[in-house]
A and B are shown apart, each in its own frame.
Chain A
Amino acid sequence: MNTAVVVFPGSNCEHDVVYALETLGGSADLVWHRDTDLSGYDSVVLPGGFAHGDYLRTGAIARFSPVMGEVNRLAAAGAPVLGICNGFQVLCEAGLLPGVLLQNRDLKFICRPIHLRVESTDSILTRAARVGDVLEIPLNSYEGNYTASADEIASIETGGYVPLRYSSSTGTVDTDSNPNGSTNNIAAVSKSNVAGIMPHPERAIEEILGSADGRVLLESFLQSRVAVNV
């Protein structure tokens, strides 16, 4: 069984995601945003990039791409659906995840490795990790500032929907370790089989590129695929 990696016009991390999944033993195909049949796929990744140029608002046009009907169907059927960076923004716009991603606090694009503390292992991103682990993963975004209404934040927190928070290298979660102003340092959100993450785990799968800490996140995703058994 295969993972569908969706390519919107303007996506740019799709090849990296395929490379990372295959490096970790998965198999993945690129599927064009006009495809309307994802039968044969047991999981979906919406990769990073600038879908439809990020015009209007990040993810706002992508949610209407023809492929999203199938993404919704697979999500409803329990297949793991992961949005990375721009893909996270698309999932929020599509209503598959709560909240929105605003411009970074300092109104600048941020590309640098940051640290994430594992908060929960009850997610398709962290089931193979341990609570308290600190992972070094590259962040690469302009709109990475996770925000939601007070009520939504309360239900996200009480529901345990935050698998990863921005932290220091020693695991301290505070304002200093918050790179972009995200509420409660939220770096990822997960609701049952759907998850979004702002940093790029696919950029951290080999020591030669600086870190292999992203492996555990993508391995969790691949393992979830088996567990869900669509």
Chain B
Amino acid sequence: MSETMPLHQALGMTDDEYGTVCDLLSRPPTEAELAMYSVMWSEHCSYKSSRAFLGRFPTTAPWVVVGPGENAGVVDLGDGWLAALRIESHNHPSFVEPYQGAATGVGGILRDIFTMGARPIALWDQIRFGPLDDPHNRYLLEGVVAGVAGYGNAVGVPTVGGEVAFEECYAGNPLVNVMCLGIMREEQLVLGTAGTPGTIAILLGSSTGRDGIGGASVLASASFDAGSDTKRPTVQVGDPFEEKKLIEACLELYDRGLVVGVQDLGAAGLSCATSEPAARAGTGMDVNLDAVHVREAGMTAAELLMSESQERMMAFVHPSKVDEVLAVASKWEIDASVVGTVTAGDTLRISHNNQVVAELPAASLSEAAPILRRDSGEPFWLEDLWTNTLEYLQPPDITRCLLEILADPSIGDPSWVYEQYDHQLFLNTVVGPGDNGSLLRIKGTNKALAVSTDGNGRQCYLDPMRGGANLVYEAALNVAMLGAKPMAVVDNLNFGNPEKSEVMWQFIETVEGMSQACENLGIPVVGGNVSFYNETDEADIYPTPIVGVLGLADPAPRSVPRLNRAEAGMALWMFGPKNSRNLAGSSFEKIIKGHVGGRPTGADSTTGKAVIELAVALAQNELVPVMHDISDGGAAVTVSEICIASNVGAHLQYSSWIGLFAEAPHRIIAAVPPEHFTAVRRLAEDLGVPVSELGEFGGDRISFDNPVAGATSVSVDKAAEAWRGAIRSRMSH
């Protein structure tokens, strides 16, 4: 920061935005006010570049209790049960300081969930890095995984799934997205409202320090360059022990009905936790910063208002309940301070050292934030990219290519990652990491919740609208194969610099593709997050939306389809569109040919929906013990993963080798026991889903057979060895 730079610029505000603040207040803002507007109007907090387009998402359904705009989405599971879900990114902090960046990402998303009244029951991590041959990327992977593990395990919330992928575009800007799911009884739902005038604001949890100041405005809302190391002090430091106590204390407050509203302190800290609840309640608030419990002396009002110190919550409490709330805090050994009173009117008045340092309309911090309609335009290079396809004159060595793909870190065994996470706590994890998705039972009921989180940056780079739609279908299908009906989506939209027209175009196209798929499937978007400025030295990441789809199995099947349940004698069938002949954007072209070009196959709304319905029906009726979708690596990899997990071979007939590696959507490989052939065929026919009878499971080799080319095969052991070493062998040096 230059010494001569005006303060608003140093805080990341434009001159125009500064002018708007002056107009709003009819005077220049104080330093404290400027600090508040700068964080609340930052890209990270205000969604100013994306807000105009997020309205495209379908967000309503009869089962949506709370949609986007609150701390988390909430859906109705029936019989008095609610689920709360949300996803968040911590990309830039994790690049600057991988352990703490990832750890505080976990802490933040947990607070979004228990703010709503729900107990967080599971986490999913979606992480993307540059290639592992670069030691810096290994350092980032090691640090991020240790951070997720260090915080998640200690705070006592299992990490039950996710995805790890590697691509050159993430080398300067890794992605760390974490999704959290919580459950509660309907009477426990709490909103982020300040209540009525007279309500007391109590700050709970960690003391406030200078850590994390500028995290949202300086770190998350700007691009990276060679000086990014100097931003390390803007990364917060997490304390999972404090958060664990805070969770238990808050859940006790909800159980005993002691609060009227709760707001967590994340980005923008006290600025957000005072202004947003007041804005939602249509009230004002008097806040006394001298009452805030601090960890260092001499902090200015601006620092207190901007601090992103972790593990803090603001509870809004009826005056008659204050003593009880303080007693609960004392029992759980967390600090608590009475810091404010809700007032009539709409003025947020903040005092420090017995002087009023800020006096502004509470709602202006959130609702008056600028909405930008940035320029967007199709990238000039797109046509060239679409026509840049490979021609194949000779078929490749199928098994050699397969082994190479299985050994790729984006395809191979991710257990090096997930074995560092507690994925079993709470005894709900029926299907954990390493399968199609995760399935969590709700004890005491017949219900189970399925979640899949997915991303496909390469496809979205080639065609953001098709990629965005395919992504939603893929995650919904993963959930369906566990016997659950997809019911809600959360998304984390990771994009480059929105000041570039092609990045805005990618964003708008992606949102459109995702929206079309969600509408067709009848699953609303109940929450999400946008992360822009994922660029380093001008190079943008691939447009990388991450979606998390929640599904409900009610009742849960007694015997859930799993990858490891194939047995000799079962038939190997494929459900879904036949004769895929497109390798654009595929793992085959990326890994074997080092090529990224062409246009990926788009979704088919009729078949896409029907295949999902078929998967739910097959799982619910327990007709097939194994289902696995065809995605990264194509059918050859899908079949291999089943064979490796089940330790059984397979024999598969193919018509074109390209079909073995194509990644067109809406396709499932299944192991079908002979006694269910008729029932399975009839179900697929009723739903209009094509069935391909490709072969059978058995023996100890995976073999691919073609009438012209003949058969080629590889042993399951050899495939397993390649697959198991994909990440582990690269991380062992």
Contacts and interface: CB of A to CB of B under 8 A. Distances in A.
Interface of A: 9-10, 12-13, 15-16, 19-20, 32, 49-50, 52-55, 108-112, 138, 140, 142, 200, 202-203, 206, 208-209
B156 A111 contact: no
Contacts of B331: 32
B424 A10 contact: no
B374 interface: no
A52 B423 CA distance: 22
B153 interface: yes
Nearest to A202: B427
B426 A16 contact: yes
Contact of A9 (B244, B421, B425, B430): B244
Nearest to B426: A16
B240 interface: yes
B156 A138 contact: no
Contact of B241 (A16, A19, A52, A202): A52
A204 to B, nearest CB: 9
Interface string B410-427: 000001001111111111
The size class of the interface chain B forms with chain A is 20 to 34
B114 to A, nearest CB: 14
B443 A19 contact: yes
A85 to B, nearest CB: 10
29 contacts: A9-B241, A9-B333, A10-B156, A12-B425, A15-B426, A19-B427, A50-B154, A50-B156, A50-B240, A50-B244, A52-B241, A53-B154, A53-B239, A53-B242, A53-B244, A54-B154, A54-B241, A108-B146, A108-B419, A109-B149, A109-B421, A110-B419, A111-B418, A111-B423, A112-B415, A140-B153, A140-B424, A208-B430, A209-B424
Contacts of B156: 10, 12, 49-50
B245 interface: yes
Given A50-B154, A52-B241, A140 B422 contact: yes
A55 B420 contact: no
Contacts of A108: 146, 419-420
B244 A10 contact: yes
Contacts of B217: none
A112 B429 CA distance: 13
A110 B421 CA distance: 7
A138 B425 CA distance: 11
A16 B429 contact: no
B505 interface: no
A19 B415 CA distance: 28
B239 A16 contact: no
A-B residue pairs, 9 tightest by C-beta? A53-B241, A12-B156, A50-B154, A109-B420, A109-B149, A112-B419, A16-B427, A111-B422, A10-B241
Nearest to A140: B422
Contacts of B244: 9-10, 12, 50, 53
B332 interface: yes
Q: Which of B241, B332, B443 has the most CB of A within 10 A?
A: B241
B425 A13 contact: yes
Nearest to B560: A208
Contacts of B667: none
Given A209-B427, A209-B429, A9 B332 contact: yes
A23 B156 CA distance: 22
B466 interface: no
Contacts of A32: 331
Interface in B404-448: 415, 418-427, 429-430, 441, 443
A206 B427 CA distance: 9
A165 to B, nearest CB: 21
A54 B151 CA distance: 12
Interface in B108-127: none
Contacts of B418: 111
Contacts of B429: 209
Contacts of B239: 53
Contacts of A13: 425
A50 B425 CA distance: 13
Nearest to B244: A10
Q: Which of B239, B331, B333, B425 has the most CB of A within 10 A?
A: B425
B368 to A, nearest CB: 41
Nearest to B419: A112
A184 B610 CA distance: 56
A10 B334 CA distance: 12
Contacts of B426: 15-16
A55 B427 contact: no
A104 B426 CA distance: 24
Contacts of A110: 419-420
A53 B240 contact: yes
Contacts of A55: 241
Contact of B419 (A111, A202, A209): A111
Nearest to A208: B430
Contacts of B424: 111, 138, 140, 200, 203, 209
A229 to B, nearest CB: 30
